[in-house]
Amino acid sequence: MKLATTGKDLREAMLDYAGLTGRRVLVPTMGALHHGHLELVRLAREAVGADGTVVVSIFVNPIQFDQAADLEAYPRPLEADLIKCQAAGVDVVFVPDADAMYYPDRSVTVTETLLSRSLCGASRPGHFDGVCTVVLKLFLLSGCHAAMFGEKDFQQLAIIRRMVRDLDVPVEILECPTIRESDGLAMSSRNSRLTAKQRADAPRIHRALTEAAKLRDVAEILSSARADISASPLARIDYISLVDAETLQPVSKLKRPAVLAAAVFYGEVRLIDHVAVGQ
Ligand code: PAF
């Protein structure tokens, strides 16, 4: 497994694979790798086959954090991550630091202006600008043909697909279904920051969304999910929203496939989840 720490290193490392017939696939992560990430890597390997190349990036991207405390607290168990990548058969790991990724006087940002306005984009201003900017840079530095993203971050996935479409980025976007713990909690690097009590309570998010999604009336769906989550004194709702599955704009009637999505704080830890409605 090769390790690259600057964009130049990564470009050079990728030159070794450039002449090969196999495809190159990137799995962008912020590290603290859990079973969900390893599933992304497994599917990436499956997608490119034995003669393909799997690249994992591990970078806690400062420009997508709107809260300095959240950036600070983000887990960074790099040694353990590298061992996991090696065991998962990753070919190249890219671990830049912020100075290697961003010029101090950088002045170009990628902004998506429709899908990023609702849900997490509304409560985390600038978040998706940071995501789009870093993802495009990672695509360009790695020269990969394809990239694998988790469906758990469905708004992120929709925005990246839109960026690739609108900017003619020659990268195929692949997706991996949400991986859950046995009690239903969506796997996330942030779960490791929950206290035992918060961790025991957090599966209520998925339970509440799943139960609410069985209803047919938009107001009832939203109030059912809200009531089930706010029944816990530990949970603080950031948003619960029912949006069109394609435009991500809030809906008032269920006519087309929709998504019921929530972001919930446990202490300082913000968890997101969603379920399909009417699909
Ligand atoms: O989903 C994530 O972990 C991040 O948003 C990503 C795609 C690696 C960009 O920093």
Protein residue with least CA distance to atom 2, ligand 1: 29
Closest CA to 115 of 161, 78, 177, 158: 158
Calculate how far, in angstroms, residue 202's C-alpha sits from the geometric centre of ligand 1.
22
Q: Give the orientation angle of helix 7-18 with respect to helix 127-142, to 10 degrees.
A: 40
Question: Is residue 46 assigned to a domain?
Answer: yes
Ligand 1 interacting residues, C-beta cut-off 6 A: 28-30, 61, 64, 131, 134-135, 153, 156
Q: Give CA–CA dist 74/97, Å, rounded.
A: 14
pLDDT tens column, 175-221: 999 999 999 999 999 999 999 999 999 999 999 999 999 999 999 99
CATH code (residue 226): 3.30.1300.10
Q: How many domains does the chain have?
A: 2
pLDDT tens column, 11-40: 999 988 877 778 999 999 999 999 999 999
- Cα dihedral: 171, 177, 179, 180 (round 10): 150
Judgement on whether residues 161 and 67 belong to the same structural domain of the protein:
yes
> Which position among 34, 35, 37, 145 bears the catalytic label?
37
Calculate how far, in angstroms, residue 255's C-alpha sits from the geometric centre of ligand 1.
32
Calculate how far, in angstroms, residue 57's C-alpha sits from the geometric centre of ligand 1.
9
Judgement on whether residues 169 and 193 belong to the same structural domain of the protein:
no
Protein residue with least CA distance to atom 9, ligand 1: 131
Domain-ending residue, one of 132, 149, 176: 176
Judgement on whether residues 146 and 76 belong to the same structural domain of the protein:
yes
145 is catalytic: no
Domain-ending residue, one of 176, 203, 231: 176
Q: For residue 209, how many C-alpha atoms fall within 13 Å in the half-sphere facing its CB?
A: 25
Residue 209, domain extent: 189-273
CATH code (residue 158): 3.40.50.620
Question: Is residue 269 assigned to a domain?
Answer: yes
pLDDT of residue 278: 84
